[in-house]
Amino acid sequence: MAQVFGRCKRPHQGDNMTAQPHTAPLALIGGGNMASAIALGLLRHGMPAQQLWVVEPDAQAQARLQGLGLRVLAAPDASLAQAAVALWAVKPQVLPQAAAQAAPHLRGALHISVAAGVTTASLRQWLGSTEVVRAMPNTPALIGQGISGVYACPEVTPAQRAQVEHILKPTGQMVWLESEDLLDAVTAVSGSGPAYAFYLMEAMVEAGVGLGLPAAVARQLATATVAGAGALAMGSNEPPEVLRARVTSKGGTTHAAISSMEADGVGAALRRAVAAAHARAQALGQAS
């Protein structure tokens, strides 16, 4: 794992596309939640801390990152030219300014952006590079159980794709997308998705409390149930509707609950909610 950030050469036809062993640093631009999740994942997977550099203006965040052993830069400087890969993890509205400051020092690097809604067209322009990848992770990345949808510009080589996989793997699963437009759908389903699961948990906790359970017990029951159902679904080849049918015997308690949800249009409301997130992701992308 430690040697994945070699500067990429253009691959030859037939190259097996494994990244060149090298110890060039990974430059994280922005050291907030998402960058920290990725850095912690890489550290857990054996990447030496000194190979992780982070540009972060906030003093408190700097101290936290230094505590992890990372090399922290308060502002971009010429040393960044050593980085093979730059991972852009600042807020979307800050990205043009951060790019103007750091990109001149990162010529030749592979660029990976996790900024929601910022298109590769904008990134290519701001970064002055065609070797640009967009990823949409989600918050379970913090515990290595996230999932990212990832789109690479056509100029990104298979060896560079392998580098992207090495960087994102510690955050959980990833899926490559053939079309950038699909990142808006990924944002709507899995990017915002953890909040939908929390929303479901909230309602289950409230209902449990309403039925007389102590709040802590209701919370434990709801959380473990959503987590357990997720783990069960992940470990099964069956689609969710089959798993649901298996625990829904006619006339039973689960059947009563699902019938009530269907009568209330819960499924349709959830589909509208995902569509609303999708529309918002598209609008943010057009504004970038």
Ligand X SMILES: NC(=O)c1ccc[n+]([C@@H]2O[C@H](COP(=O)([O-])OP(=O)(O)OC[C@H]3O[C@@H](n4cnc5c(N)ncnc54)[C@H](OP(=O)(O)O)[C@@H]3O)[C@@H](O)[C@H]2O)c1
**Residues that bind ligand X in the complex, under the rule CB under 6 A:** 29-35, 55-58, 61, 89-92, 94, 97-98, 101, 114-116, 136-139, 191
Q: How far is the CB of 265 from ligand X (least distance, A)?
A: 29
Q: How far is the CB of 207 from ligand X (least distance, A)?
A: 27
Q: How far is the CB of 101 from ligand X (least distance, A)?
A: 6
Does residue 126 contact residue 100 with C-beta atoms inside 8 Å?
A: yes
Query: Which CB sits closer to ligand X, 8 or 73?
Result: 73
Query: Which CB sits closer to ligand X, 61 or 156?
Result: 61
Query: Which CB sits closer to ligand X, 156 or 284?
Result: 284
Rounded-to-integer distance, Cα 177 and Cα 180, Å: 7
Rounded-to-integer distance, Cα 235 and Cα 239, Å: 11
Q: How far is the CB of 276 from ligand X (least distance, A)?
A: 18
Q: How far is the CB of 73 from ligand X (least distance, A)?
A: 9
Which residue is nearest to ligand X, using beta carbons?
32
On the 0-12 / 13-18 / 19+ scale of CB atoms within 10 A, 263 is: exposed
Query: Which CB sits closer to ligand X, 196 or 209?
Result: 196
SS3 27: strand
Residue 97 parent element (H or E): helix 95-102
Query: Which CB sits closer to ligand X, 63 or 207?
Result: 63
Residue type, 279: A
E-strand stretches of the chain: 26-29, 52-55, 71-73, 85-88, 110-113, 132-136, 146-152, 172-176
Strand pairing class (132-136; 146-152): antiparallel
Rounded-to-integer distance, Cα 206 and Cα 204, Å: 6
Q: How far is the CB of 75 from ligand X (least distance, A)?
A: 8
Query: Which CB sits closer to ligand X, 105 or 166?
Result: 105
DSSP 213: -
Q: How far is the CB of 142 from ligand X (least distance, A)?
A: 8
E-strand stretches of 46-152: 52-55, 71-73, 85-88, 110-113, 132-136, 146-152
Q: How far is the CB of 239 from ligand X (least distance, A)?
A: 26
- Sheet of 85-88: strand order equals 71-73, 52-55, 26-29, 85-88, 110-113, 132-136, 146-152, 172-176
Query: Which CB sits closer to ligand X, 8 or 281?
Result: 281
Query: Which CB sits closer to ligand X, 134 or 159?
Result: 134
